Amino acid sequence: MFVRRTLPLLVSAIFGVALILQFFVPHPASKNFYNMMLDWLIIVSAFTYLIAVQSTVELHVTKIKRKVEGWQYSIIVLVSLFVTAALGIFGGAFMPTTLWMKIFPSVKPSDTTPLMYTYLYMQMPMQSTIFSLLAFYMASAAFRSFRARSFDATLLLITAGIVTLGRVPLGEFIYKGLPDVVEWILKYPNMAAQRGILIGVQLGIIATSIKIILGIERKYLGGGK
Amino acid sequence: MKNKIFFFILILLSFVLSFPQNETVKDENGLKLDPAILKEFTIKDVRDDDGTKLEISCQKILEGENYLFKLYRKEENDTTLKVVKTFNSFPVKIVDEGLSYQKKYDYYISVTDSLGNESEKCLITGSVSPKPNLFRTEKTILLLMIIVYTAIIVFLVESVRKGKDLFVRKISGLDTLDEAVGRATEMGRPVLYVPGSSTMSDIATIASLNILGPVAKKIAEYETKLIVPNRDPIVMTVAKEVVKESYSEAGRPDVYNDNDIFFLTDSQFGYAAAVSGIMTRERPATNLLLGMFWAESLIMAEAGNTTGAIQIAGTDAVTQLPFFITSCDYTIIGEELYAASAYLSREPLLLGTLKAQDYFKGFIIILITLYFFILLISWLTGGHIVFLDKILEMLRFIFKS
Amino acid sequence: MKFINFINNLDKRWIYLVLALCIIIPFIFPVGFPMKTTPPVKSIYDFIEDSIPEGGVVLIGADYDPSTMAELHPMAKVIAAHALSNNLRVLFVTLYPQGAGMAQDAIDNVLREWNKSNPDNPKKLGKDITLLAYVPGVSAVVLKMGEDITQTFNEDGYGNKLSELEIMNGIKNYKDINLMVELAGSSVVLTWLIYANGRYGLKMGIGTTAVSAAEYYSYLQSKQAIGMLGGLKGAAEYEHLLGKKNVYGGRKDASIGMDAQSSAHIFFIILIILGNIAYFVKKKKEGK
């Protein structure tokens, strides 16, 4: 219980208060403590990728073992994971390693590395495709949901129409002052509404942080209470 | 004739005026800095710093001179002089940075004429060392705000603990959580819980994991399958703990499956694609999208909409809210996400903090309204009322702090 | 009525098909509408053009991956090219492993194009432009850079010691950076604004996807950011401004895509109008 509950609560309380105080104390000792904390954070972050690899491998190995539906794809995931890592380690990230150049004498230091090759010609097109889906989904969502059901919805609809048109050169071609109208909408009505939400959100963020530091909020440690 | 005399006097006068008439620098023996200028120099420690800065200033007014001044620094036990700054006009204020509070420094000044002849370097004053400070005075208001806010929270928590009843308005998105989980049980399909695309340093993610606890408990009671795909390894680890604990609390640790909470990828859209894939393949009856989302929000929400799942989304990312509102059945907006933990558990301690948020929000609204009206009055009266300007200045200082 | 029924029961896939055509056709038959530069874009351009002395430093945050490259990659290239044209030093930094590939591609591209169009003023990797090595930790990295950049990274992305690189001469922390332009489609923009600008006073510009652009207007008004490039149009406007200088011959990726975006937006508006007509006719019919 002490290790799973009390200790994490103590750690978050002590370091939470210490880092808040550190912000107000400019003394070199406080600065050194702050720098040490940042170094720790960076070191811990580096290790999180190991957890990611462990989780991915465990999940897909289990899928293959149990032969769950689509288990063949898990083989592709695991092979891709290890081949990409091997290419990066032995071939270099942005410049070919000496080992790689020894194995393949025709490779020059200015050549594209195998890792960069997979990045440019596999990852780039695949990920761009996913992002481009957004345009299609937006079209269907706009068609399905953008209805002038009430006065508010009509107002929203007209504004959306103006902004959509004003954000492209064609809008400017239709009416020269349209980009200025769009800028005005984004700068004033849009910002006023956003700020209202943001103030609430930021207070929520501060309150949650204080709750965690004071140990009032502990659900993130697991359990309903 | 009169004009000629006048013109002659004028030329003479301009010569006299343009000649370096200040007590600056030259005497018969060559270039020398006037001791009067040297006396005007002051060296003082910079306030609110870490003991690495000294301010060297001179209030003397000197214009129209064609001389270059060099400020040198020398460590007490060192012989080398380092140029801190070169300048050619007065008054001057130089902040020398990168010093050590454990060392003493001497400052020298010299003057160079247009021919490049440099005078002797004169010591400004005795050895000085910067002092490290223990408090940033310019942040006092911020510290006060934090103390006040924390005090309000603690006070309200205490009063709730003593039995004070607090009203919390209805949040339909959260009320429906039970129903949504129940629906999945009836249909014999899983519940998909997406804790957002961000890391643990985003408070929205923590808020999401706070909701995951009670949701997982309910799911364990119903013996429904819960899938939690993650984009961040740390979030995944915490999510595993949260779910495992909740299952134990519900008395069903046997139903917990470690492989249902897993890491997908740290790529933003790769994650969205994978989550959409899970929605299509596993066909969850309920999709809960709670946490921080960006441009990928619509991809996930639309994929879920296509499969016909009941969708509850919640985020504080303002620009993504419209997408969730169009594609999901219920949307938890902005701060409601942070209120969710208290709302679901009805725990008095957490409810107290909600009230504190409201009080502070009220305080900010009062300040903004006050600022607006004073600004309006000041504008209408042409800015002639000094008293109002002082209040405006004060409010601006508070806002900036 | 038949038409209204057709609209109400329209299969999503038809919408997808027409949208695809709306995007593809303008690439084959470009029109090239003239474009006005908006103030948020111009202020970043003007700052690099007029307010940074020769040898100054521009830090570009490449915190995006290939998915958002369509909008953000042209920004990285055009801002880097603009900085080089003013003889400024360009440092790329990324907080995500995926961004390192993007930054590397942008550096490669800009250097190649620059040296092709300016053989008399060639730019060199490590002297005029480089990529700082990827270090995990996101906000911790942003904060640590405010203390000491060389200590945070040790090396550049190509394995060279930062302390030995010519480009790093006189650069210790944010105080030595004249402008930082953060390019991201996620809230990492806020991480930079809160920690680098808020805590260390780093002068910042923003480049983000069109979907997220509206979120950052409040930071422009509060002057936490000097300007913003919103989506493909922001990048196209910047390309247009740099084009007037006539110093860089690189491909204008964003400007090429503007016709496709125009036609897609028009299609969106038509869809919304059609959807509303069908909705009102149906409502009227049901009312009867």
Q: Does residue B15 register a pLDDT over 70?
A: no
Name the nearest CA neighbour of C56 among C175, C206, C198.
C175
Q: Cβ C33–A48 below 8 Å, yes or no? A: no
Of B248, B318, B338, the CB nearest to A197: B318
**Residue among B350, B355, B358, B359 with most chain A CBs within 10 A, to mutate:** B350
CB proximity A156 to C under 8 Å: no
Q: Does residue B401 register a pLDDT over 80?
A: no
Of A24, A204, A206, the CB nearest to B143: A24
Those chains having 3 or more beta-carbon pairs within 8 angstroms of chain C are A, B
Q: Which two tokens stand for residue B227?
A: 């899938």
For B17-60, the three-class secondary structure string (H helix, E strand, C coil) is HHCCCCCCCEECCEECCCHHHHHHEEEEECCCCECCCEEEEEEE
Q: Which two tokens stand for residue B256?
A: 């917990």
CA distances from C278 to A154, C2, C281 (A): 15, 11, 5
**Residue among B259, B320, B363 with most chain A CBs within 10 A, to mutate:** B259
What value does the mean pLDDT of chain B take?
Answer: 86
CB proximity A24 to C under 8 Å: no
Query: CB pairs under 8 A, 24+ apart, for B96-100?
Result: B96/B53, B96/B54, B96/B55, B96/B56, B97/B52, B97/B53, B98/B52, B99/B51, B99/B52, B99/B53, B99/B54, B99/B129, B99/B130, B100/B51, B100/B52, B100/B130
- Within 10 A of B184 (CB to CB), how many other CB atoms are there? 23
Q: Cβ C67–B269 below 8 Å, yes or no? A: yes
Of A51, A130, A224, the CB nearest to B217: A224
- The pLDDT score that the predictor gives to residue B6 is 60
Name the residue of chain B whose CA is nearest to C224's CA. Answer: B400
| Cα–Cα distance for residue pair B286/B226, rounded to 1 Å | 10
- Residue C129, class by beta-carbon neighbours within 10 Å (0-12 exposed, 13-18 middle, 19+ buried)? buried
Q: Cβ B270–C67 below 8 Å, yes or no? A: yes
Query: Minimal Cα–Cα distance from B23 to chain C, Å?
Result: 36
- The pLDDT score that the predictor gives to residue B293 is 93
Q: Give contacts of B243 with chain A, Cβ < 8 Å.
A: 222
Hey, what's the torsion of the CAs at C45, C51, C57, C58, to 10 degrees? Answer: -20
- Within 10 A of B109 (CB to CB), how many other CB atoms are there? 22
CA distances from C160 to A219, C97, C101 (A): 45, 18, 17
Q: Does residue B26 register a pLDDT over 70?
A: no
Residues B313-317 have a mean pLDDT of 93
Which residues 75-94 of chain A have a CB within 8 Å of chain B? none
The tens digit of pLDDT for each residue in A88-127 reads 999 988 888 889 999 999 988 888 899 999 999 999 999 9
Name the nearest CA neighbour of C104 among A120, B265, A49.
A120
CB proximity B359 to C under 8 Å: no
Q: Cβ A134–B353 below 8 Å, yes or no? A: no
- The pLDDT score that the predictor gives to residue C32 is 80
Query: Minimal Cα–Cα distance from A207 to chain B, Å?
Result: 7
- The pLDDT score that the predictor gives to residue C6 is 83
Quote ipTM for the complex: 0.85
The tens digit of pLDDT for each residue in B99-157 reads 999 999 999 998 888 788 888 888 887 789 999 999 999 889 889 988 988 898 888 88
Q: Cβ B318–C186 below 8 Å, yes or no? A: no
Q: Cβ A139–C16 below 8 Å, yes or no? A: yes
Q: In what order do the strands lie in the sheet with B54-62?
A: B41-45, B54-62, B90-96
CB proximity B232 to C under 8 Å: no
Of C138, C185, C214, the CB nearest to B199: C138
Name the nearest CA neighbour of C213 among C195, C235, C197.
C235
CB proximity B199 to C under 8 Å: yes
Residue type, B125: T
- Catalogue the E-assigned strands of B283-390: 286-290, 310-315, 330-333
Name the nearest CA neighbour of A123 among C74, B229, C68, C252.
C68
CB proximity A57 to C under 8 Å: no
B139 within 8 A of B148, measured Cβ to Cβ = no
Give ∠ CA A105-A111-A115 in degrees, rounded to 5: 100
Of C67, C98, C215, the CB nearest to B319: C215
Of C96, C138, C215, the CB nearest to B318: C215
- The pLDDT score that the predictor gives to residue C4 is 82
**Residue among C141, C143, C187, C190 with most chain B CBs within 10 A, to mutate:** C187
Name the residue of chain C whose CA is nearest to B306's CA. Answer: C12
- H/E stretch holding A34: helix A28-66
The tens digit of pLDDT for each residue in A122-144 reads 999 999 998 888 888 888 888 87
Q: Cβ A143–C16 below 8 Å, yes or no? A: no
C114 within 8 A of C81, measured Cβ to Cβ = yes
Q: Does residue B16 register a pLDDT over 60?
A: no
Q: Give contacts of B143 with chain A, Cβ < 8 Å.
A: 24
Q: Give contacts of C12 with chain A, Cβ < 8 Å.
A: 140
- The pLDDT score that the predictor gives to residue B5 is 63
Residue C249: which pLDDT band, with cuts at 50, 70 and 90?
confident
Those chains having 3 or more beta-carbon pairs within 8 angstroms of chain B are A, C
Q: Give contacts of A131 with chain B, Cβ < 8 Å.
A: 269, 295
Q: Cβ C96–B266 below 8 Å, yes or no? A: yes
Q: Which two tokens stand for residue B174?
A: 């959260």
- Crossing angle of helices B297-307 and B268-282, rounded to 10°: 10
Residue type, B291: G
Q: Cβ C276–A146 below 8 Å, yes or no? A: yes
- The pLDDT score that the predictor gives to residue A211 is 86
| Cα–Cα distance for residue pair B220/B231, rounded to 1 Å | 24
Beta strands B105-112 and B68-75, pairing class: antiparallel
- The pLDDT score that the predictor gives to residue B17 is 47
Residue A79: which pLDDT band, with cuts at 50, 70 and 90?
very high
CA distances from B92 to B86, B97, C178 (A): 11, 16, 24
Residue B19: which pLDDT band, with cuts at 50, 70 and 90?
very low
Q: Which of A117-131, B13-27, B387-401, C81-95 has the highest mean pLDDT?
A: C81-95
Q: Give contacts of C98 with chain A, Cβ < 8 Å.
A: 123
Name the nearest CA neighbour of B107 among B88, B85, B131, B91.
B85
Query: Minimal Cα–Cα distance from C132 to chain B, Å?
Result: 20
Residue B294 DSSP class: -
Query: Minimal Cα–Cα distance from A118 to chain B, Å?
Result: 15
Of C16, C131, C276, the CB nearest to A147: C276
Which of B10-14, B215-219, C233-237 has the least mean pLDDT? B10-14
- The pLDDT score that the predictor gives to residue A220 is 75
Q: Which residues pair with A160 in a beta bridge?
A: none
The tens digit of pLDDT for each residue in B296-309 reads 898 999 899 989 99
φ and ψ at residue B68, rounded to 5 degrees: -115, 130
B176 within 8 A of B330, measured Cβ to Cβ = yes
Count CB pairs under 8 A between chains B and C. Answer: 43
**Residue among A31, A33, A37, A38 with most chain C CBs within 10 A, to mutate:** A38
CA distances from B180 to B183, B218, B303, C84 (A): 5, 11, 18, 56
| Cα–Cα distance for residue pair C205/C45, rounded to 1 Å | 10
- Within 10 A of B98 (CB to CB), how many other CB atoms are there? 7
Count CB pairs under 8 A between chains A and B. Answer: 193
Beta strands B191-194 and C57-62, pairing class: unpaired
Q: Give contacts of A45 with chain C, Cβ < 8 Å.
A: 136-138, 140
Query: Minimal Cα–Cα distance from B49 to chain A, Å?
Result: 5
Q: Cβ A58–B248 below 8 Å, yes or no? A: no
The tens digit of pLDDT for each residue in A171-211 reads 888 888 898 899 899 889 988 888 888 888 888 888 888 88
Q: Which of B51-60, C107-116, C279-288 has the highest mean pLDDT?
A: C107-116
Percent share of chain B, pLDDT over 90: 41
CB proximity B135 to C under 8 Å: no
Residues C169-197 have a mean pLDDT of 94
CB proximity A225 to B under 8 Å: yes
Residue B21: which pLDDT band, with cuts at 50, 70 and 90?
very low
- The pLDDT score that the predictor gives to residue A15 is 93
Q: Cβ B135–A207 below 8 Å, yes or no? A: no
- Catalogue the E-assigned strands of chain C: 57-62, 89-93, 129-131, 179-183, 204-208, 228-230
The tens digit of pLDDT for each residue in A27-71 reads 999 999 999 999 999 998 888 889 889 989 999 999 999 998 889
CB proximity A173 to C under 8 Å: yes
